[in-house]
Amino acid sequence: MDKAIEVENLVTHYGDREILKKISFGIPRGKTTVILGGSGCGKSTLLKHLIGLLKPTRGSILINGNDITSMSEDDLNVVRKKMGVLFQGAALLNSMTLADNVALPLREHTRLEESTIRIMVRMKLDLVGLSGFEGFYPSQLSGGMKKRAGLARAMALDPEFLFFDEPSAGLDPVTAAGLDELILRLRNVFKMTITVVTHELPSVFMIADYVIMLDLGEVIFAGPLDELRASGNPRIKMFLERRPETADYSPEDYFRFIAGD
C-alpha cells in the first residue's frame, strides 16, 4: 500500500486524561479513508493532529514522508497549502458572499489576478453544484448548501489532501447522500487522498475504500471496508449492528430504579 500519511505511536493527553493511546496506522494515497468510531473515541482529536492544529504528547505524523509534528509553523503552513478541510459547521464567514469565501484562500496564498480568481471561484462553485450563488451570503443558504460552499472553499487551492469532519452532521438523509456522491466524484476525478471523520454508517458503506476504527482512544481496526464488514471483533460488530452495550441489571431492576424503589 502506498501510504500518503503514516501515523506512528501517537499519544495525546487533555490534562491528565489520555485521549489517543499509542495509535499507529497508514492512510493510502488516492483513496477515501474513513475514520470511524463512537462519540468520544478520539476521532476529531485525531483529525486535528492530521491537519496540524494540535501537537501530540508523543509520536509522529508523516505526510509524504515528512513529520509534521516536529515542523516549525512556517514549514507547517507550506504543508497546509496542500490540504483542504471541510469543518463540521462549514466555517464560512457570514460577512462575506460565497464568492468571497471561496476566493479567500486564493487571495491569501497566491498572486493571481483578480479576474483569474473570479474564474476559479465560478469553477469551484460549479463543481459543487452552486453555480449562480456567488452573491449569496451563508445566512441565505440551507445546511446542505453551506456544506457544499465550504467544500468549494476547501478545493480552492486544488489540494492534494482533502479532510472532512462529520460532513453529514445536521443533514437530512437525501442531502447527506448527495454529499457522499460528491465525495466519490472528487476522488474519482481528481484522485485526491480523502480522509473523512464520521460515525454515520450509511456514509461509511457508500464512500469508504479504507477504514480506521477507533474505540476508547485505540485503533481496533485498520483495513479495507470489506474486511471491516467481515470482522469478528465484538466491538466492531456491536457498532455496525447498532447494538447498545448489555446492561448489568435486569429489566425489573431498571424499572424499580426509575420508579425510585
Cell numbers linked to 182: 460528491
Q: How many residues does the chain have?
A: 261
- State residue 252's pLDDT score: 54
**Torsion, CA 253, CA 235, CA 183, CA 207, rounded to 10:** -110
- State residue 247's pLDDT score: 43
- State residue 241's pLDDT score: 84
User: Which domains can be identified in the chain, with CATH numbers?
Assistant: 3-82+159-258 (3.40.50.300)
Best CA proximity match to 117, nearest among 131, 127, 129, 107: 107
pTM of the model: 0.87
77 vs 12, 50, 53, 68, 95, CA distance in Å?
22, 13, 11, 10, 25
Report the greatest alpha carbon distance in the chain.
Answer: 74
The secondary structure of 121-137 as a DSSP string is HHHHHHHTT-TT-TT--
- State residue 245's pLDDT score: 63
180 vs 47, 197, 205, CA distance in Å?
19, 13, 10
How would you write the pLDDT of the chain (261 residues) with one tens digit per residue? 799 999 999 999 988 889 999 999 999 999 999 999 887 788 989 999 999 999 999 999 999 999 999 999 999 989 999 999 998 878 899 999 999 999 999 999 999 999 999 999 999 999 999 999 999 999 999 988 999 999 999 999 999 999 999 888 888 889 889 999 999 998 888 889 999 998 888 899 999 999 999 998 999 999 999 999 999 888 898 888 877 765 444 555 444 444 444
- State residue 248's pLDDT score: 47
* HEC-encoded secondary structure of 8-46: EEEEEEECCEEEEEEEEEEEECCCEEEEECCCCCCHHHH
For 162-250, where are the alpha helices, taking DSSP H only?
173-190, 201-207, 225-230, 234-240
Amino acid (one-letter) located at 228: L
